Amino acid sequence: YIYHGDNRKKYAYNLSDYDIVFTTYEIISREIELVEGRSNDSQLAKIKWKRVILDEAHRIKNHTTKANKTMCLLKARYRFALTGTPIHNSIND
């Protein structure tokens, strides 16, 4: 399922019915609002995903950004981070 576009929230209630859900860092960051370090009632944050796979994971290398914090709020049994971008600045990357 491609979770993107103007009508995406209308179908968010059944995302857990799909084997694969594609979305973007921006949509997750926008929909999971951070309130005192915890997520709001976003359907994305409520689902217990089997796997979360982040492509272009170098986009969340800074642990202080909203994108990083919201990705960490996704509940998942397994997590994978993929990137082709090498370490640039420090070992924390």
Tell me: the pLDDT tens digits for 37-76?
A: 666 678 888 889 999 999 998 888 888 888 898 998 899 9
Q: How far is CA 59 from CA 1, 7, 14, 65, 67, in A?
A: 23, 26, 28, 10, 8
How far is it, in rounded angstroms, from Cα 38 to Cα 51? 20
Which amino acid is located at 39 in the chain? Answer: S
User: What's the rounded mean pLDDT across residues 7-25?
Assistant: 86
Give me the mean pLDDT over the 73-83 stretch: 92
Q: Which residues contact 40 (CB under 8 A, 6 or more apart)?
A: 32, 33
**CB distance 10 to 43 below 8 Å:** no
What is the pLDDT, as a whole number, of residue 55?
Answer: 94
Whether residue 91 is predicted with pLDDT greater than 90 in this model: the reply is: no
